[in-house]
Structure 1
Amino acid sequence: MGQPGQVAVSQPWKYARYWLLVIGLLCFSTLSTPRLGFVRSLTSSPESEFPDLPQHCAAIPPIPASALEARRNTLAKRLHDLGAAAYIAEPSSSAAYYFNVSEEHWHLSERPLLFIVTPSVSDATGDITANVSILTPKFEAARAKLLPLSPSAYIQWAEEDDPFAVLSAALGLPTNATAYVDANARLFVADGLQRALPHARIRTPPPQIVEIRERKTDEEIAILACANEATLLAIRATHKRMRIGMRESEARDLVARALAAVGLQRAGCLTLFGENAALPHGSGTDRALHKEDFALFDCTGQLHGYWSDVTRTLALPASRIPDAHLAIWHHVHAAQALARAAIAPGALTSHPDTAARAHLAQAGYAQYFTHRLGHGIGLNVHESPYLRGVPETQATPILPGHTFSDEPGVYIERKVGVRLEDCVVVQHGAAHATFLTAGVGGAARSPWEP
């Protein structure tokens, strides 16, 4: 009972009153505190928060089924030319390239699910086409048949079977066959095949096979270009909404919403302020942005399975960047331009790295450029070939269809880090590579114009 003159309140309602008060305070705090954003997330979407970011790539189609079939037939022809009996892959980016099946469709376990291409030669025409089989656990066969692929055969293995012996018997592989196991496959797959075929040559694919995926088609280049353009647009939209004093976590959440608004999937951004950017892959400390700080954003996102990779080191209108740090930014910018000019058909993959590194060395920053210049990009953010300063005997030629990141950087620990990154494509007849971000302006113009 309450005190005389008061209305009696039952115990449940008394506690409910307290909880309502707490919820009300939380809602008020969320509305008045930018770092929390809980109420905003209930009342707005990334699209409404970024009206200046349309679905940039809505008109870009995915890779059609006919292109996947052409890829498999090209693979079969290369296998035949090399005298190889089969190419074998697990669910991975390589399987996505040839079969439209990645780890998102089928998560890896101790029970192998394998995709196999064997070359088939027509008796009538001599044409070489791909014969596709799927090795599946027997109890998973019904699920395997739901995958977006129509193979020639489903090869099923029971729990008591050796799956690799079942595979070799079903394919009728000769005892001395050469079979290529994709480099993304786990070691036990290659080991199991070697045990099942002790006299066979089980190898990772040679350059003639790897090159098929490395050299992008016009359809792939269109997807990659739009993904990289969209990523840069999201960074620019974020830049407009930043303020001195905001924290790394706030900026990271802001750019993530921008990447979602522009229509990219699985997107994210390494976000580092000030001296934190001196660690190229640092996780940050959630420090606040000061007027003297650069902000570094290294962002990726996915479109139809293909990745973007764009980095900007930028300043705000209210920033007061030290002259020494501005000089570093401009040297990195110049190194990026020199590297792009060196990414040319016929040049070696070591040459662009050398060009960027030579400029930074002349400026006195050689010791602070601590990673390779770039990497291939496609169905993986990082894939071969790589732009790095290896001896020329270890480098490979740059060819039309190659796509790379061009990302020089300077990292002075506990002081400053600057990296600028745009991906490029090497096209037929071009003197040097073109930025994949060229459609929206390409490389940064200044720290204030990313």
Structure 2
Amino acid sequence: MKFDNHVDTSVSRENISQTFVISRLTRSLSEWRVFYSLAICATVFYLQLLTFVNPEGRWAGLASHCSGAQPIDGSEILQRQESLARILYDNGASAYVAEPGASAQYFGNISEATWHLSERPLLLIISPTLEEGNVVAKITVVTPAFEETRARLLLVPGIDISFVSWAEDEDPYTVALNALSALELGPERPIYVDGMMRYFIVDGLQKAGPGVRVMFAPPEVTQLRTRKSQAELDLLRCANEVTVLCIRAVQAQMYIGIRESQVLAMIDEALAAAGITERWALVLFGENAALPHGSGNDRALGKADLILIDAGGTLFEYHSDVTRTFMLHDSSIPPEHITIWYDVRAAQTLAHAAAREGANTSAVDKVARDWLDGRGYKGHFTHRLGHGIGLEDHEAPYLRGGTDDIIQTGNAFSNEPGIYIEGKVGIRLEDCFYINQDGNSVFLTEGIGGQAFSPLYP
């Protein structure tokens, strides 16, 4: 298969002229594109290391990368509520119900971190009302009575907001429906519920109102959250960039003989220094990486071992998810494993080019899969190509076979092809991307170079 662009892996950092480097580095980041020369990427890499790893502090500089990031403004949440209310009104629906989680966070600033789920439901209800001919969102928070004071401390934006409590000897779902009694409830005016809502709550609402139709929210509602705003993309971009910078900073301090657990601790330290919360990481050396989620035997790094780090966390509730498979300067990697690395990178690049507005999600997965199958790895790319990312690390839509979702502007996904040969090697490369207003895919890590540069420069 012929490529529109070609990666020349023979270019070394030493033979780049100073004039060429300076001219390239001063160009606008928006002009960076896939398959820039590895020489430029290597130079960027070393400049970043000078900034992020120095004797004055193990992770010096990481904290500044996202220091200007801001949480989603309350005015944006009000706009989301207004958009939802308009959809509910146009669809003839009486209300939308969510419990603490990603959707309640999106529409009401109520996350699982601020209100943990239990058997006692707390519900966010958004219903459309007409005021002077305009559709506005009415917000109702249904809370256990003994938790009402705490519920009122939640920073829930809303023009028209009320709190309704239910006592321990009351049915919370009857109380919830009674709170909507001013609305026309019935089979012709359904109540939409969030697709991730626990079944016992859906069942409770249905039993409390036998004549009420309770149904999962349609695509018009779910697409509000899957199509990211500029503010959301800014948080996703910064979180994913700094996660890559953390991996590069950790690589600079690794050595042959270090153990997986030591690197895991280093990654967590780096992410914490960068301001990332809800941190997680997977560190696998050599053949351990042939199991995509690891074997966990705390392997010591050998000279012939590639290193796989899959890491992420949240920045103001928005997720990062990055995987790099790389080597050290002292490594001696089998040539066939280096070949696999470049084949996986090519699969990632081809999928990135195929992911455009209007494309089918399964078709993007197929592009990467067909390339790897054609290179002789059939059966060794064992998982989907990618998942949506935002307020959840894994959310709809998904890049996998068997789906028929159509990619839209504002969608954000992971792109993570991998080859896993048990007992030998595992290689995965993952960068998240979004679809811009022109309908093209843009890596969220583009501002720091985009994809991994080579096995030596992640």
**Would you call these one fold, judging by a TM-score over 0.5?**
yes
What CA distance in whole angstroms lies between the structure 2 residues aligned with 1:275 and 1:201? 53
What is residue 281 of structure 2 aligned with on the other side?
A: 269
Tell me the C-alpha RMSD between the 2 structures. Answer: 1.3
The letter for the 2-side match of 1:111 is R
What CA distance in whole angstroms lies between the structure 2 residues aligned with 1:234 and 1:150? 35
The residue correspondences of 1:359-370 to structure 2 (distance < 5 A) are 359-370=371-382
What CA distance in whole angstroms lies between the structure 1 residues aligned with 2:94 and 2:278? 37
Q: Is the 8 A contact 1:137 1:157 kept in 2?
A: yes
Question: Structure 2 vs 1, CA of residues 332 and 64 (structure 1 numbering), >3 Å: closer, same or farther?
Answer: same
What is residue 142 of structure 2 aligned with on the other side?
A: 135
What is residue 56 of structure 1 aligned with on the other side?
A: 65
Aligned-residue offset at 1:150: 5.3
**Rg: which structure is higher?**
1
What CA distance in whole angstroms lies between the structure 1 residues aligned with 2:74 and 2:414? 28
Question: Structure 2 vs 1, CA of residues 47 and 127 (structure 1 numbering), >3 Å: closer, same or farther?
Answer: farther
What CA distance in whole angstroms lies between the structure 2 residues aligned with 1:282 and 1:342? 30
1:34-68 Cα distance to aligned partner (Å, 9 max, x none): xxxxxxxxxxxx99321243421111211100000
The letter for the 1-side match of 2:215 is R
What CA distance in whole angstroms lies between the structure 2 residues aligned with 1:175 and 1:389? 38
The letter for the 1-side match of 2:143 is T
What is residue 339 of structure 1 aligned with on the other side?
A: 351
The letter for the 2-side match of 1:436 is L
SS of residue paired to 2:294:
coil
Q: Which runs of 4+ in 1 moved over 3 A?
A: none
Matched, 1:175 2:183: no
What CA distance in whole angstroms lies between the structure 2 residues aligned with 1:68 and 1:283? 42
Q: Is the 8 A contact 1:275 1:416 kept in 2?
A: yes
What CA distance in whole angstroms lies between the structure 1 residues aligned with 2:67 and 2:134? 38
The residue correspondences of 1:250-329 to structure 2 (distance < 5 A) are 250-329=262-341
The residue correspondences of 1:103-114 to structure 2 (distance < 5 A) are 103-114=112-123
Question: Structure 2 vs 1, CA of residues 283 and 91 (structure 1 numbering), >3 Å: closer, same or farther?
Answer: farther
Q: Which runs of 5+ in 2 are unaligned?
A: 1-54
Aligned-residue offset at 1:338: 0.2
Aligned-residue offset at 1:415: 0.7
SS of residue paired to 1:263:
coil
SS of residue paired to 1:293:
coil
Could you tell which deviates more after superposition, 220-229 or 102-111? 102-111
What CA distance in whole angstroms lies between the structure 2 residues aligned with 1:53 and 1:163? 47
What is residue 447 of structure 1 aligned with on the other side?
A: 455
The residue correspondences of 1:203-242 to structure 2 (distance < 5 A) are 203-242=215-254
Aligned-residue offset at 1:428: 0.9
SS of residue paired to 2:62:
coil
Among candidates 439, 443, 446, match of residue 438 of structure 1: 446
Q: Is the 8 A contact 1:245 1:288 kept in 2?
A: yes
Aligned-residue offset at 1:184: 2.0
What is residue 13 of structure 2 aligned with on the other side?
A: none
Instruction: Give the alignment's TM-score, normalised by structure 2.
Output: 0.85
The residue correspondences of 1:86-125 to structure 2 (distance < 5 A) are 86-122=95-131, 124=132
What CA distance in whole angstroms lies between the structure 2 residues aligned with 1:91 and 1:283? 33
SS of residue paired to 1:367:
coil
What CA distance in whole angstroms lies between the structure 1 residues aligned with 2:120 and 2:267? 39
Q: Is the 8 A contact 1:47 1:261 kept in 2?
A: no
Could you tell which deviates more after superposition, 52-61 or 196-205? 52-61
What is residue 161 of structure 1 aligned with on the other side?
A: 170
Could you tell which deviates more after superposition, 145-154 or 371-380? 145-154
Q: Is the 8 A contact 2:288 2:426 kept in 1?
A: yes
What CA distance in whole angstroms lies between the structure 1 residues aligned with 2:340 and 2:421? 10
SS of residue paired to 1:401:
coil
What CA distance in whole angstroms lies between the structure 1 residues aligned with 2:352 and 2:456? 22
What CA distance in whole angstroms lies between the structure 2 residues aligned with 1:211 and 1:197? 28
Q: Which runs of 5+ in 1 are unaligned?
A: 1-45
What CA distance in whole angstroms lies between the structure 2 residues aligned with 1:175 and 1:61? 42
1:320-362 Cα distance to aligned partner (Å, 9 max, x none): 1001111110100000000000000111111211110111011
The letter for the 2-side match of 1:404 is F
What CA distance in whole angstroms lies between the structure 1 residues aligned with 2:332 and 2:399? 34
What CA distance in whole angstroms lies between the structure 2 residues aligned with 1:388 and 1:111? 36
What is residue 17 of structure 1 aligned with on the other side?
A: none
What is residue 5 of structure 1 aligned with on the other side?
A: none
Q: How many residues align?
A: 399
What is residue 10 of structure 1 aligned with on the other side?
A: none
The letter for the 2-side match of 1:340 is H
The letter for the 1-side match of 2:431 is D
What CA distance in whole angstroms lies between the structure 2 residues aligned with 1:238 and 1:352? 32
Q: Is the 8 A contact 1:259 1:268 kept in 2?
A: no
Question: Structure 2 vs 1, CA of residues 224 and 155 (structure 1 numbering), >3 Å: closer, same or farther?
Answer: same
Aligned-residue offset at 1:103: 1.2
Q: Is the 8 A contact 1:47 1:53 kept in 2?
A: no
What CA distance in whole angstroms lies between the structure 2 residues aligned with 1:283 and 1:87? 43
Instruction: Give the alignment's TM-score, normalised by structure 1.
Output: 0.87
What CA distance in whole angstroms lies between the structure 1 residues aligned with 2:413 and 2:175? 40
Could you tell which deviates more after superposition, 260-269 or 406-415? 260-269
Q: Is the 8 A contact 2:109 2:157 kept in 1?
A: no
